[in-house]
Chains A and B, each alone.
Chain A
C-alpha cells in the first residue's frame, strides 16, 4: 500500500485559513461547506497564554472506519494507497460513513446528496503535485509526501521533530501529523 502523509508545522502556521479557501476553489466545495478547517488551541493561564493553530481535515486513516462502514463500496482506498475517496456513482447517501468517522471529516454534498470529503486532491497528486492546501500555504507550514520513502520531506520531518496525530486512540491510524 502506498502510504501518503501530510505533515503540518504548528510552529509556523499562522492560522490564516488560506488552506480552507484553496480547497474550496480547487474542489468546487458547495457554499457553506468545507473539507478542511482550522482550529485555534489556546493553553495556559492568563496572561501567560500559548496559541497553536491546527489545519484539520480527513486523516486518510490507514484503518479507515468510514470505508469499513460503507455498505456499497463507495467509500474506498484510492489506487491501493491510504487516500480515502468516495465514488459518487455508488454512494447512496446513507450516512453510515459520517457516523463512522471519529474526526467528523465527512459531509453531505448539497444538493446532490452524495458524501464529500478531503481527497488529498488526488486529481493533483496523481500528477505528482501537492494538494491545493499544501501548495498555497503562505507560511510553508504544510508538507505532503510518501512515508514509504525515508528521504521524503515528510519522513525526514517526522524523524527530526516532535509530532503527534489526532486521537490515535481511535485505532484508525491517522496520517495527518502535526509538528510541535
Chain B
C-alpha cells in the first residue's frame, strides 16, 4: 500500500473548501460570455448575409441585449477578483502564454464592435430610444445623430468583424479552462469548440425567445437543433478523450461518471439542457409553437449554465497532488486482519 497523509496543514481548497479557486462568478461569466458571443455571431451573420428582414430581432435588438449580457458577465468576472483595485493591470500587460490575458484583450476588442452594432440596430430595433438619443441636449444633434447614421453605413463591415470576434470570444471561454495542464479534467482541447458551440446554442435559444416573427423563431429553433446535436457529439468526444487520457484524466472524469457531479452533469446538463430541448425541437420541426419553442430555449439556457458550472467546479477539484488530509479509519480497517475494531481505541 501507499498512503500520503498531511503531517502539517496545507492551505489548499481540498483541505480548506473556502480556498476554492473559482466559484459561481466565473461559471456565470463563462456562460454569459459564451451567450453574448453567440448573439454577436448570429447578429453579425444576419446582417452580413442581408437577412435583416427575415430576422429583425437578431439584427436590430440582439446586439444591445448581448452587450448588456456581456457587461453583466464582465461584472461577475470583476466580482471574482480577490484584489479588485489592481483590475487595470490586465491592460498594462499582454502575456502571450496566458489565456486570461488574451481574454481580457479580446473583451476590449469585442466591446466597441458590439456597441457600434447595437447602435446600428437602434433605429429599427428600439426606435423610441434612437429618437431620444437624437434629441439629447447638446450631444444629440452634434454627436448622437451622426453616430447612429454612421453605424448604419458601416453596418456590414461591423457585422463581419463581429462574427470573427464572437468566435474568438466563444472559443476563449473554453480555452481559458483547457489551457491548464495542472487540472486534468480541463486539459482537453475539445473544451474550446464545446464552449463555442454551447455559446452559439444558448445564443440561438435567446433569439428564439425574443424572436420578432414566427419565421425568425422557426429559423433559430432549427439552427439550435443542429447546434444541440453537435454539442452532444462534442460532449461525448470530451468524455471519451478523458477516458482515454492518462491516469489523472481517467480518474478525474469519474467525478461526472458516478462521482459528486454526476447528477448535475447527466440529469441537469445532458438531460434537461440537451436531451429534452432536442426532443422538443424535433417534435416542432414542422409546425412550431411559441410555447414549446420557448420551453426548449429556457432549458437550453439552463443547460448552458450548468455546463459551465460543472466544468468550473469539478475541474478545480482535480490535481496532480492527492493527499489524505485526515485519519482514514477505513484504510486502517483494511490493514488489520485480526478482526479488532480499528476505531475502538480512539
Contacts and interface: CB of A to CB of B under 8 A. Distances in A.
Interface of A: 15, 17, 20, 32-34, 37-46, 53, 65, 68-74, 89-96, 98-104, 107-108, 112-114, 166-167, 170-171
A72 B82 contact: no
A114 B255 CA distance: 30
A91 B335 CA distance: 47
Contacts of B93: 71-73, 90
A46 B80 CA distance: 47
A94 B81 contact: yes
B179 interface: yes
Given A96-B100, A114-B83, A72 B89 contact: yes
Contact of B320 (A91, A92, A103): A103
B218 interface: no
A40 B21 CA distance: 26
A17 to B, nearest CB: 4
Interface of B: 1-12, 16, 19, 21-22, 80-84, 86-87, 89-90, 92-93, 95, 97-101, 103-104, 179-183, 316, 319-321, 323, 335-337
Given A39-B323, A90-B86, A94-B81, A99 B8 contact: no
A94 B80 contact: yes
Given A34-B10, A37-B9, A41-B2, A170 B82 contact: no
A57 to B, nearest CB: 10
22 contacts: A34-B11, A39-B4, A39-B6, A40-B5, A40-B6, A40-B7, A41-B2, A42-B2, A42-B3, A45-B335, A70-B100, A70-B101, A90-B93, A92-B84, A94-B82, A94-B100, A95-B21, A96-B98, A100-B182, A101-B182, A104-B321, A114-B86
A21 to B, nearest CB: 9
Chain A to chain B: the 10 pairs with minimum beta-carbon distance, closest first: A93-B82, A113-B82, A71-B101, A93-B83, A113-B83, A102-B182, A72-B89, A68-B97, A71-B100, A33-B11
Contact of B181 (A34, A73, A74, A170): A170
A38 B7 contact: yes
A71 B104 contact: yes
Given A74-B89, A91-B83, A167 B5 contact: no
A96 B84 CA distance: 15
Nearest to A90: B89
Contacts of B4: 39-41
A98 B21 contact: yes
Contacts of A33: 11
B8 A37 contact: yes
Contacts of A42: 1-3, 5
Among A70, A90, A99, A171: residue with most chain B CB under 10 A = A99
B92 to A, nearest CB: 7
A44 B10 CA distance: 25
